[in-house]
């Protein structure tokens, strides 16, 4: 009710609505005197322009939409757990949006849907966001990129691997991080190392696996097929994979899981077999989920700066919408977090 409009402000300031618009949008060609009057009136009235009206009339919607894959999200929802990656992504984007007067919208996207293209098109024409943040695996969907490009929509891809030249990108080197972690295990003295692969739909899964294999190869170590199992980034899948790997005739002395949730599953599987970590088995994860520092033993893992990535993405998008040249693609740094779940294998 009683909503304050631009007309109210204009009347109170004794100027035209156009002047109010100019002042509030920081346009040039305004005298200091006018700016002050308008600002005063707007403050007194507690005026805030209507998002809808702005979006409808102008070229900007002040909306950033984050596209998130529906499958894993629903999986989390079903299991009653939150999604740490999503949460961190969101916090980063939120902080950046807040500063710039932008609003963040989370949109679920089913990349496996046969109607994916129209879903994206429909979403864009309905929301007209000033920019889109594509999270994996949406960031690697050619269908999505094509649809977005056909509309001239601005987007930044998080952790994308394929077609690196398309759109804005903020990524970290998953392959190298996995390589480094594998080397860490090798340096500890492990030669028999198992690996739990991530969800096949994610580019990061392939990259991490490639990094693991490259490190093994570079050190003259064989990757044994029975020590590699394919999970889907969930705890139960990690548990199942570990049971398979540890059920092999010969056991590896270390297992590197493609994310922390699966690493926790590995820890659980080890506990069921009566294996002590890290004495009987070293376990490494990837992500630095909150549980990684709370678990016992604390988990050795790779810290992925998700929040910073999302901040950078939002910043690029907002700058672009404001007509500024958007900053180019950005690589962010990962960090190996060495905790207590990895150690030298027993003599």
Partner DNA sequence: GTGAAAGCGCTAACAA
Partner DNA sequence: TTGTTAGCGCTTTCAC
Residues near DNA (CB under 7 A) are: 3-7, 15-19, 21-22, 24-25, 28-31, 33-34, 47, 49-50, 53-54, 56-60
Residue count of the chain: 347
Nearest to 159 by CA among 97, 91, 290, 68: 68
Q: Is residue 149 within 8 Å of residue 306, measured between CB atoms? A: no
The one of a second copy, DNA, none whose footprint includes residue 165, by CB under 5 to 8 A per kind, is none
Q: Could you tell me the two tokens for 24?
A: 């509030």
Binding mask 111-130 for a second copy (x = CB under 8 A): -------x--xxx-xxxx--
For residue 66, give the 3-state DSSP assignment.
Answer: strand
Write the burial class of residue 131 (CB in 10 Å: 0-12 exposed, 13-18 middle, 19+ buried). Answer: buried
The one of a second copy, DNA, none whose footprint includes residue 33, by CB under 5 to 8 A per kind, is DNA
- The distance of closest approach from Cβ of residue 22 to DNA in the complex, given in angstroms and rounded to an integer, is 7
- The distance of closest approach from Cβ of residue 103 to a second copy in the complex, given in angstroms and rounded to an integer, is 6
- The distance of closest approach from Cβ of residue 132 to a second copy in the complex, given in angstroms and rounded to an integer, is 14
Tell me how far apart the alpha carbons of residues 206 and 186 are, in angstroms, rounded to a whole number: 21
- Phi/psi-derived region of residue 152, left when phi > 0, alpha when psi is between -120 and 50, beta in every other case: left
Q: Does 268 bind a second copy (CB under 8 A)?
A: yes
Tell me how far apart the alpha carbons of residues 186 and 216 are, in angstroms, rounded to a whole number: 8
- Tell me the H-state helices in 46-110: 51-57, 70-79, 84-100
The one of DNA, a second copy, none whose footprint includes residue 6, by CB under 5 to 8 A per kind, is DNA
Q: How many chain residues are in contact with a second copy, going by CB under 8 A?
A: 69
Binding site for a second copy (CB under 8 A): 1-4, 46-56, 61, 73-74, 76-77, 80-88, 90-92, 94-95, 98, 103-108, 118, 121-123, 125-128, 151-152, 235, 261, 264, 267-268, 271, 288-291, 293-297, 303, 305, 307
């Amino acid at each position: 009710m009683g909503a304050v409009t631009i007309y109210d402000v204009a009347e109170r300031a004794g100027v035209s609505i156009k002047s109010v618009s100019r002042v509030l949008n920081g346009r040039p060609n305004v005298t200091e005197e006018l700016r002050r009057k308008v600002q005063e009136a707007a403050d007194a009235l507690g005026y805030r322009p209507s998002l809808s009206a702005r979006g409808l009339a102008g070229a900007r919607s002040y909306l950033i939409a984050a596209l998130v894959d529906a499958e894993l999200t629903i999986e989390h929802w079903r299991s009653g757990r939150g999604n740490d990656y999503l949460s961190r992504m969101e916090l980063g984007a939120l902080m950046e949006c807040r500063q710039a007067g932008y609003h963040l919208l989370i949109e679920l996207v089913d990349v496996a849907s046969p109607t994916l293209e129209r879903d994206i098109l429909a979403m864009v024409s309905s929301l007209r966001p000033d920019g889109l943040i594509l999270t994996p695996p949406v960031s690697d969907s050619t269908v999505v990129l094509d649809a977005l490009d056909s509309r001239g929509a601005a987007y930044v891809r998080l952790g994308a691997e394929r077609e690196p030249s398309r759109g804005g990108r903020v990524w970290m080197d998953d392959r190298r991080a996995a390589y480094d972690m594998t080397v860490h295990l090798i340096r500890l003295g492990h030669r028999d190392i198992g690996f739990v692969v991530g969800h096949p739909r994610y580019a990061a899964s392939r990259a991490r696996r490639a990094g693991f294999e490259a490190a093994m190869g570079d050190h003259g170590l064989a990757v044994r097929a029975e020590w590699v199992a394919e999970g889907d980034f969930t705890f139960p899948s990690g548990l199942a994979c570990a049971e398979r790997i540890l059920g092999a005739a010969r056991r590896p002395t270390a297992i590197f899981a493609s994310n922390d949730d699966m690493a926790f599953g590995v820890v659980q599987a080890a506990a069921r077999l009566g294996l002590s970590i890290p004495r009987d088995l070293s376990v490494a994860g990837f992500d630095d989920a909150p549980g990684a520092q709370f678990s016992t033993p604390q988990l050795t893992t790779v810290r992925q700066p998700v929040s910073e990535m999302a901040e950078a993405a939002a910043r690029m998008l907002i700058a672009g919408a404001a007509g500024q040249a958007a900053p180019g693609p950005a690589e962010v740094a990962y960090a190996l977090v060495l905790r207590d779940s990895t150690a030298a294998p027993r003599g």
